[in-house]
Amino acid sequence: MVTLLQLSHVISQHSELPSFDTVLTSPQGVPVDLSTATDVTFRMQLLGDPSVFHTGSVVVVEPTDGQVSYEFNSTNTQFSGSYLATITATFGGKVQTFPFNDYFLITVQQDLEDDADDETYDLVFATVAQARALGYELTPKELIRAQGHIEVMCNRMIEVIQEAIDNENLSTADRTRLKKATVYQAAWLRANDDVEERTDVTQLRTAGLSGESATLTADGITLAPLARRVLQGLSWIRSRSVRTTTRRSRGGYSLNNTNGSGWQNL
């Protein structure tokens, strides 16, 4: 059974210092002689997301005493969270992993500067830090643009959403959906930068196949597919109940209705 070590190292998000300094020991706790070791490598993996994985070369500081040091780079600390880490060394063609039957635990503390920057842009639906937690590196300007799109598509003015949040009248589930929809939309807009200039169409001629066309809804050329799927789950869209405002709010918008009228179930 593997038991995690106590916290081994803490570093701030986007930082490169302090370096990770440790002593490699045998299963008996004796420092390992690294004089003949080759390919000494550091590896770290984000807990809960194996796709976030980093490797790098380790500096052997005192070979006979097993002292090593790993210097982080900004890529290593791009995402905040807890990481499992190991160091491997090759002795005579055979690889040994440290620590024995365990892991180092590396914590990358979230950078609070992102939240401060977000306030300048009045990001209500999703912040830079929240987008990064979902695996997207987005700027405040990209998120504020996407937020405007989602505001239209979810049929609730940003002031109404903010009031509902302040009064704790917006459910956690709806807040999560708005956050994800905004992040997905912002990422999609990078590849569809001209979306605000497009003409509203219902059919698109298929290139190279004469006589064939594809039917598109108005949303299909203005809204990210994943964002649309997420918005379908909003409480005031999937039913006729209105949780963040009154029935006197501006006209309804249905994600499955191209003329923009009515609160239709999806």
pLDDT band for position 80 (50/70/90)?
confident
pLDDT of 214 reads: 53
pLDDT tens figures, 209-237: 444 555 555 566 788 888 888 898 898 87
Sketch the domain layout of the chain as residue ranges. 9-109, 113-238
Higher pLDDT, 57 or 113: 57
Question: How far apart (Å, rounded) are the C-alpha atoms in residues 45 and 43?
Answer: 7
pLDDT band at residue 157, thresholds of 50, 70 and 90? Answer: confident
Side-chain half-sphere exposure of 135, counting CA atoms within 13 A: 8
CA 97 to chain centre: 30
Instruction: Give the pLDDT confidence score for residue 10 in this predicted structure.
Output: 93
CA distance 39 to 45: 19
- Smallest CA-to-CA distance from 115 within 133, 127, 131 is with 127
In degrees and rounded to multiples of 5, residue 153 shows phi and psi of -70, -30
Mind listing the pLDDT tens digit for each residue in 230-262? 898 898 876 544 344 444 344 444 454 433 333
Of the options 2.60.40.3350, 2.60.40.10, 1.10.10.10, 2.30.42.10, the CATH number for the domain spanning 9-109: 2.60.40.3350
- Name the residue among 78, 37, 74, 76 with its Cα closest to residue 56: 76
Tell me what pLDDT residue 254 has: 46
pLDDT of residue 259: 38
What sign for the dihedral angle of Cα 94, 98, 99, 104? negative
Is 0.85 surpassed by the pTM of this model? no
In this structure, of 11-20, 69-78, 233-242, the range with the lowest mean pLDDT score is 233-242
Q: Residue 183: its pLDDT value, please?
A: 94
